[in-house]
Chain A
Amino acid sequence: MFEIRGRIKNRIRPAVLILLVALIPSLGAALWHPKRPSWSRPVAGNEIDLSTAVQWGARVLWVDARPRVEFDRGHIPGAVLLNEDEWDRLLDGFLDAWKRDAFVVVYCSSVSCDASHEVAARLKSEARIENIYVLKGGWETWQAQKK
């Protein structure tokens, strides 16, 4: 009986030690890592703020949900145009640019516009893409950050 208990102890002790050793750097990361995740969901729903999107770096695929005229006037570098008016024509272009591990961030003009939410919802339901977010504040926020 004691022998079995001793054997179990001998097997479990190193595992517990490994678990504890891993805890030390992760606590450090929780306090000081520049890319540590927030303890609360970044923004309610699938909206994210600009700082979060920028943190994702090259994994972000920007999707501009505004009308073509506004897109031509200016857009986030690398953004793909995909709006409801030209959905069928533009969807192929989006799918060409999309990669499975990309974080798709859709934006429209400002806080008050809904186009980004509509495009995000359509991409989710029709293309069954999960990693879709809406940029809070849209193009206005991007421009304000640039200043």
Chain B
Amino acid sequence: MAGAKKIIRLLLLAVIGGVFAFAGGVKVLDPASFATDIDHYHLLPWPLIAGVALYLPWLECVCAGALLLKKFRAAALGLMLGMSLVFCAAMVSAAARGLNISCGCFGTGTGHLGLAIARDVLIMAAIAVCLVAEKKRTDSNQM
């Protein structure tokens, strides 16, 4: 049972890491396009958009890499959950305002906002499960 739980936890971590590494990697290659995608949300002023477009993809990649290190795993998951919450809020806000835009999550061809929101919620659930498991693991190590 414990073995199965461990396998599920590792699989979830691999999926979360893969999603963030891919999302970050695609945007790292083309921050100018990503800046334009952020601009379409009409939520931030331009200089901040440029900064976010340069920083956020690298943060996604570093978080994905940090999942490999036990010491940094909980922190990386916490940051990933924070980022996903912000992405979700931005997409819900855009959908509520009737904006006809792509989410910009994975660079080109990222599809409909509704699908992106659903995907984001699933990722947040997976991160939350891993965070709880991580807390249990660290607590049991401390005892």
Contact = CB atoms under 8 A, between A and B. Distances in A.
A11 B71 CA distance: 10
Given A11-B74, A37-B50, A131-B36, A101 B109 contact: yes
Contacts of B32: 35-38, 52, 55-56
Contacts of B126: none
A35 B31 CA distance: 6
B58 to A, nearest CB: 4
A74 interface: no
Interface in B7-39: 28-37
Contacts of B49: 37
A141 B112 CA distance: 34
A14 B37 CA distance: 30
Nearest to B30: A35
A41 B54 contact: no
A128 interface: yes
A100 B108 contact: no
A99 B102 CA distance: 9
Interface residues of B, number: 43
Q: Main SS of chain B's interface residues? A: helix
Contacts of B74: 11, 14
B33 A22 contact: no
A37 B76 contact: no
B31 A22 contact: no
Contacts of B117: none
Contact of A14 (B58, B59, B61, B71): B71
Given A11-B75, A18-B75, A23 B31 contact: no
Nearest to B76: A18
Interface of B: 28-37, 40, 46-47, 49-50, 53-55, 57-59, 61-63, 66, 71-72, 74-76, 78-79, 98-102, 104, 108-112
Interface of A: 11-12, 14-15, 17-19, 21-23, 25-26, 29-30, 33, 35-41, 52, 55-56, 58-59, 99-101, 103, 127-131
Given A35-B32, A39-B46, 10 more contacts: A11-B78, A14-B75, A15-B79, A19-B59, A19-B79, A33-B54, A36-B32, A37-B35, A101-B109, A101-B111
17 contacts: A12-B75, A15-B75, A18-B66, A18-B72, A26-B58, A29-B58, A35-B33, A36-B54, A37-B53, A40-B46, A41-B46, A56-B32, A56-B33, A101-B102, A129-B100, A130-B101, A131-B102
